[in-house]
């Protein structure tokens, strides 16, 4: 059950992050009436998170001996939203490409959970610690998810892995049962229980910012 909630929260956070970035881009454009200014504002606002995201790709590529090229930290307005940054990765097999593609999700989640663990460990929560933690969570959670280009090879790997897994489970059902039993272990249950609670923090932060940008967008309508 906790694993299911974790997946649902992660999907919800993904949708919130995309909506918030698009909402901010609309607000900046409504105020500035300039695409260049909008891109520049997004670049400065999400620069720390973008750096973490793109460095995660580079780190994963280096660990798996895959060549990487130029890293771009300037956002671009594209057809289905805003792309905050990019990094050139050489073509490789689908397994390494999939790992490199999802690396920012893994690193970003580790940063968010690590920040919240640190807050939880504090005996006295100062305003400075709280504000810095909110900034870190806001930055990382909204640059956490990989783009369609980042996930090239991930879909192929997922399909291939799923076919193999289904085949193995059909031939040897006991493997499936052993796999499910892993998620019944106390350590795993406790991890996902805490992770479910921690994911509420970036979700709540995004909901607050979405509400604020929504109000500001309504106050600054575009002149037609």
Q: What is the per-residue pLDDT for 134?
A: 92
Residue written as tokens 């076919």? 163
Quote the CA–CA distance of 20 and 15 in Å, as a whole number. 9
Cα separation of 21 and 17, whole Å?
A: 6
pLDDT at 164: 76
What is residue 224's predicted lDDT score, i.e. its pLDDT? 45
Compute the distance between CA of residue 89 and CA of residue 101 in angstroms, rounded to an integer. 10
**pLDDT tens, per residue, the chain with 224 residues:** 667 888 888 889 989 988 998 889 888 888 888 888 888 888 888 888 888 988 888 888 888 888 877 777 766 666 555 666 777 778 878 788 888 888 888 899 999 999 998 888 888 888 888 899 999 999 999 988 766 666 666 666 677 767 777 777 777 777 666 666 665 677 677 777 888 888 899 999 999 999 999 888 887 555 54
pLDDT number for residue 181: 65
User: How do the domains of the chain map onto residue ranges?
Assistant: 8-219
pTM of the model: 0.77
């Amino acid at each position: 059950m906790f694993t299911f909630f974790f997946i649902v929260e992660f999907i919800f956070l993904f949708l919130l992050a995309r909506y918030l970035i698009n909402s901010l881009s609309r607000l900046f454009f409504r105020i500035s009436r300039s695409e260049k200014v909008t891109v520049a504002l997004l670049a400065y606002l999400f620069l720390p998170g973008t750096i973490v995201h793109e460095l995660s790709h580079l780190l994963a590529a280096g660990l798996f001996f895959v060549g990487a090229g130029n890293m771009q930290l300037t956002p671009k307005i594209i057809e289905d939203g805003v792309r905050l940054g990019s990094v050139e990765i050489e073509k490789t097999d689908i397994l390494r490409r999939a790992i490199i593609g999802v690396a920012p999700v893994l690193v970003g989640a580790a940063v968010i959970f690590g920040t919240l663990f640190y807050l939880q460990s504090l005996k006295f929560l100062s305003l400075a610690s709280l504000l810095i933690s909110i900034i870190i969570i806001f930055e990382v959670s909204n640059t956490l998810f990989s783009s369609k280009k980042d996930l090239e090879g991930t879909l192929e790997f997922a399909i291939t892995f799923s076919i193999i897994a289904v085949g193995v489970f059909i031939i040897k059902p006991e493997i499936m049962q052993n796999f499910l039993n892993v998620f019944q272990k106390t350590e795993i249950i406790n991890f996902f229980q805490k992770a479910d609670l921690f994911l509420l923090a970036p979700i709540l932060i995004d909901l607050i910012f979405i509400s604020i940008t929504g109000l500001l967008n309504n106050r600054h309508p575009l002149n037609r």
